[in-house]
Amino acid sequence: MTILAEPTRLRPFVIDIFRAAGSSEQEAEEIADHLIDANLAGHDSHGIGMIPAYMHHLRSGWVKPNQTPERVGGTDPFAVFDARMGYGQPAVTRVMEEAARIAAAHGVAITTLRNSQHIGRVGAYAEQLLAKGLMSVHFVNAVYEVPTVAPFRGSDARVMTNPVCVAVPGAKPLLLDYATSTIALGKVRVAYNKGEQVAPGRLIDHKGQPTTDPKVMFEEPKGAQTAFGDHKGWALAFMAEVLGGAMTGGPRSGDGFQGGRGLVNGIMSIVIEPGRLVDGGWFDGAVATLTDYVKASPAADPDAPVLVPGETEQASRAQRSRDGIPVDPTTWKQIVSCANAFSLEVPEFPAA
């Protein structure tokens, strides 16, 4: 039975899990806040459902708690960091703090981070910069035991879901944040746990044929995800691999399961102070006018109005903050199992 988890009661429970797993209080809080906020934003693929995977990574020795990313190169406004296989959420947060400092001094910062465990929802770091009035562009690669996304015209997986994120500050900030696959792997996991099919065109089976069954990503013989937009999405996924992988000096797809490190993320970020290029007041007005113009297009479906990037997350955050976060029974059972391993008290939540 799906539950509705109240965010403020869920938070200490998630913190307790990571603290029991060896994280400091600050690290546990940062990871918990990131995961819960991903759920609030409607991205369950990057929310608390990742806890079982993170605990598996920890048991496997693929993640090292309480690491501080080390600056290993670059002269301002460039900076190169190594996460030393620490949790991605605190690592990227620290790097974005440094990027904001550099951008304040130089108007721009270009940073790379390599050797990070799963960094979670990329949009969270863009929002961290938006709060300081900074524009940002991010390219992320991932290397895992096996890749999950097939190239356009290919029949097996060669890269991961390689997200791209763009954020623009203003009175009504804009936030584009999505995987370059037609569906995030975490969303396939959610469908698999719920016993549901995914939409057509998202997956192929082990023979390269289209399928809607999510089990092809979790059971043998394995299939693959597809890139969105055919050749266009595939090209963007490939460039994210180049910029998030090769440009960071970190692992790339095709390197294999390097040194038993499990999932490794790399991220390249370009952070800009918009006022260095255009008057801030004029820019805000221009973006607002453009937004109003496109949203004035008559909706083809009256129940589905035109949206601009970021509005879906805003609506989800408002609704879930009020009503609670839905968690399917399989995912909740897996999370409870993690808590039981540390003999932690499990909160009870109402059914959805």
pLDDT, residue 125, reads 99
Over residues 338-351, the mean pLDDT reads 98
Angle between helices 7-20 and 25-40 (to 10 degrees): 140
State how far the Cα of 328 lies from the Cα of 182, in Å rounded to an integer: 22
Query: Structure pTM?
Result: 0.94
| Token pair belonging to 211 | 């399928």
CATH number of 183-226: 3.30.60.50
State how far the Cα of 75 lies from the Cα of 23, in Å rounded to an integer: 31
Cα–Cα distances (Å) from 156 to 159, 228, 337, in that order, read 10, 15, 33
Q: What is the pLDDT of residues 288-342, one digit of tens each?
A: 999 999 999 999 999 999 999 999 999 999 999 999 999 999 999 999 999 999 9
- The answer, yes or no, to whether residue 196 has pLDDT greater than 70, is yes
Task: Provide the β-strand partners of residue 72.
Answer: none
pLDDT, residue 144, reads 86
Q: Is 167 helix (H, G, I), strand (E, B) or coil?
A: strand
- What's the angle, vertex CA 139, arms to CA 105 and CA 60, rounded to 5? 110
State how far the Cα of 82 lies from the Cα of 27, in Å rounded to an integer: 17
Cα–Cα distances (Å) from 106 to 113, 128, 266, 275, in that order, read 20, 19, 24, 12
Letter for the amino acid at 165? C
pLDDT, residue 256, reads 57
Q: What is the pLDDT of residues 71-120, one digit of tens each?
A: 999 999 999 999 999 999 999 999 999 999 999 999 999 999 999 999 99
Cα–Cα distances (Å) from 201 to 19, 157, 208, 227, 282, in that order, read 40, 15, 12, 9, 42
| Token pair belonging to 331 | 């995912």
- The answer, yes or no, to whether residue 259 has pLDDT greater than 70, is no
Give, as one character, the DSSP assignment of residue 275. Answer: G
Give, as one character, the DSSP assignment of residue 197. Answer: P
State how far the Cα of 20 lies from the Cα of 313, in Å rounded to an integer: 31
pLDDT, residue 230, reads 94
Phi, psi of 290 (to 5 degrees): -65, -40
Give, as one character, the DSSP assignment of residue 245. Answer: I
Name the pairing type of β-strands 224-226 and 164-168.
unpaired
Please answer whether residues 139 and 119 qualify as being in contact, where contact means their C-beta atoms are separated by less than 8 angstroms. no
Domain 1-60+311-351 grouped into CATH 1.10.1530.10: yes
State how far the Cα of 183 lies from the Cα of 187, in Å rounded to an integer: 7
Phi, psi of 281 (to 5 degrees): -65, -40
- Nearest Cα to Cα of residue 67 among 111, 131, 114, 3: 114
| Token pair belonging to 183 | 């569906």
State how far the Cα of 338 lies from the Cα of 220, in Å rounded to an integer: 25
* Spans of all domains in the chain: 1-60+311-351, 67-181+227-296, 183-226
Q: What is the pLDDT of residues 136-192, one digit of tens each?
A: 999 999 998 789 999 999 999 999 999 999 999 998 999 999 999 999 888 899 899
Q: Determine the topology of domain 67-181+227-296 in CATH.
A: Ribosomal Protein S8; Chain: A, domain 1 (3.30.1370)
